[in-house]
Amino acid sequence: MNWKLLFLPVFTAMLAAVTGCPTAPASNPTPTPTPTLQNQQPIEVVSVMEPFEGLANPAGPLVEITLKNVSDEPAVSLSATLQQIKGMYGDEEFGFVLNVTAANPLMPDDTITSRLHLIHSGYSDNKSYPLALSGSLQSGATFAYSRQVRIKTQPFTNEQPIEFVSALGPVPPFNLGDLHTPGGWSAEITLKNAGDEPVIAVSVTLLTSAGDHNYSSDLHFDVTSSNPLLPGMIISAKGKMYSISGEITYSLGIFGTLQSGTAFHIYSMPIQINAP
């Protein structure tokens, strides 16, 4: 064994301790910075519009955005902020709620839609507004950029593609054998797509009066862009009513959207709810 080679590092350490000379510091690895996408825009703006809802909201217009992941990997966070909107006290910003997380990613080619009211604000049809987009992809890469967008009004048709079929009530489930269910009486509304185009969203509102009070019930049908109501198809939904009587005439309103994006609204259709 070469004792000189063994003794040399020990002697060097002892000498440093006696003379106060510092030894070489341990090297710390440099943290890897989070990659930022350069000149890439993984999120595409599909549409920015004011959906048709029949009546203007006094609080401010409703704006709906639809975004699409056009990258090759899932997005695990996403935010969108509409900027330079004219408010009561100057320009305002409005952030949309987008449920995109690592547990609920926006997959490639998928879209996401969000709505909000521009409270005490408004917009111009012939003006562009910045829509700031930011987020991160599954690989850890981040992005942040802005797109100029115009807010369009959703097209509307006076045609009535949805046909009312029936209203039945009370219907199960019942509460402890009684006809009254928690939160009200249960009624079932059945509709038919009598048009020639698939329907991708439909809901109804039933209005009734009791004394000096008016009551409304909203029923939402399982109809989406991935599960459309095709022409000729029939669909039913149940909802809670304040009261059900075959002697009362109810006012039925139907709201929906066709596959083309065109909205429709059928106002104040008088109906009766019959026993099943």
pLDDT at site 4: 42
Which pLDDT value is given to residue 53? 61
Q: What is the pLDDT of residue 152?
A: 87
Residue 210 neighbours by CB distance under 10 Å? 10
* CATH architecture of structural domain 43-153: Sandwich (2.60)
What pLDDT is stored for residue 13 in this prediction? 46
Is the pLDDT score of 263 beyond 70? yes
Which residues, in sequence order, are bridge partners of residue 101? Answer: none
| Residue extents of the structural domains in the chain | 43-153, 162-272
Is it true that domain 162-272 has CATH number 3.30.40? no
Whole-number Å distance between alpha carbons of 85 and 64 = 14
Of residues 136 and 214, more confidence is placed in 136
Is the pTM higher than 0.85? The answer reads no
How many Å apart are CA 258 and CA 154, to the nearest integer? 11
Per the CB < 8 A criterion, the answer to whether 240 and 199 are in contact is: no
Half-sphere exposure of residue 212: CA atoms within 13 angstroms, side-chain side:
0
Q: How far apart are CA 256 and CA 172, in angstroms?
A: 26
Checking DSSP bridges between strand 249-258 and strand 234-241, what pairing results, if any? unpaired
DSSP, res 229: B
Residue 210's pLDDT band, with cuts at 50, 70 and 90, is low
Query: Residues near 67 by Cβ (< 8 Å), separated by ≥ 6?
Result: 43, 44, 45, 46, 78, 80, 98, 106, 111, 112, 113, 133
Cα distances (Å, whole numbers) of residue 227 to 12, 66, 230: 77, 18, 9
- Residues 246-257 have a mean pLDDT of 81
Task: Report whether 268 contacts 206 (CB < 8 A).
Answer: no
Are β-strands 90-96 and 185-193 bridged in parallel, bridged antiparallel, or unpaired? unpaired
| Angle, vertex CA 219, rays to CA 218 and CA 222, nearest 5 | 145
- Euclidean distance between CA atoms 11 and 9, whole angstroms: 5
pLDDT at 5: 43
pLDDT digit string, tens, across residues 47-74? 898 876 655 566 788 888 999 999 999 9
Is a pLDDT exceeding 70 seen at residue 23? no
Q: Is 37 helix (H, G, I), strand (E, B) or coil?
A: coil
- C-alpha 92/C-alpha 148 separation (Å) is 16
> Given this chain, do its domains 43-153 and 162-272 carry the same CATH topology?
yes
Contact 258, 197 (CB under 8 A): yes
